[in-house]
Structure 1
Amino acid sequence: MMKAMELARFTVDPQDVEAMLAARPAMVTALRERFSGFESLRLVRLDERTWLDVVIWASRAQADEAAATVGDMPECRAAFAYIKEVVSMEHAEVVFAGDRAA
């Protein structure tokens, strides 16, 4: 079974960055507890306002299931509250990885 990668590009106002970052650990804990296919999340800052979540899931089906329900989770809603705009959201299959996590 191929792993899946979720790429979510979004913007956050600079004055909300600290609060957004503070909400992230609870969100990750909730994702781990609710979804057995959740493997990792990396938050990448692209510029002062633009961020990218890179999430690895055990499979595309698990990524799709999570995408359909994370908005119902209070910890995720709390972290997402600081997002000003979702620029893009994509899911893809990982076909090659040069690390041990793949």
Structure 2
Amino acid sequence: MRAMELARFTVDPSDVEAMLQARPAMLAALRERFAGFESLRLVRLDEWTWLDVVVWASRAQADEAAAKIGEIPQCRAAFAFIKEMVSMEHAEIFFAGDRAA
């Protein structure tokens, strides 16, 4: 069953452009390193607060990635702009409008 990762974090508004510039390299690294990686969406909730919405092929693959992501230089570079990690949750996807879960 597919899984979703929801990571809520804050970024200083003065760092937003640099954080966004680091994202394409992070995305490429996720695709290269983790076979279960399916998609990444970055959404802005307010001036300081952001949410990464990541879809994985399975919960086990999401958990594996969470344990190893800090080892990937491109991910560390993108994460360097995070001021506070507010929350991190994983959930199983039971229904998806884009395709079957």
The alignment's TM-score, normalised by the length of structure 1, stands at 0.97
Q: Secondary structure at the match of 1:100?
A: coil
Corresponding residue for 1:8?
Answer: 7
Counterpart CA distance in 2 for 1:32 and 1:101 is: 21
Once the 2 structures are TM-superposed, how far is the Cα of residue 98 of structure 1 from its aligned partner? 1.3
**Structure 2 unaligned blocks of 5 or more:** none
Cα RMSD for the two superposed structures: 0.9
Corresponding residue for 2:53?
Answer: 54
Aligned pairs, number = 101
Corresponding residue for 1:99?
Answer: 98
Corresponding residue for 1:64?
Answer: 63
Code of the residue aligned with 1:87 in structure 2: it is V
Q: How does 1:36-47 map to 2 (within 5 A)?
A: 36-47=35-46
Code of the residue aligned with 2:13 in structure 1: it is P
- Aligned-residue sequence identity (percent) comes to 83
Are residues 1:18 and 2:17 paired?
yes
Corresponding residue for 1:82?
Answer: 81
The alignment's TM-score, normalised by the length of structure 2, stands at 0.98
Code of the residue aligned with 1:99 in structure 2: it is D
Change (3 A) 1:31 1:21: same
**Structure 1 unaligned blocks of 5 or more:** none
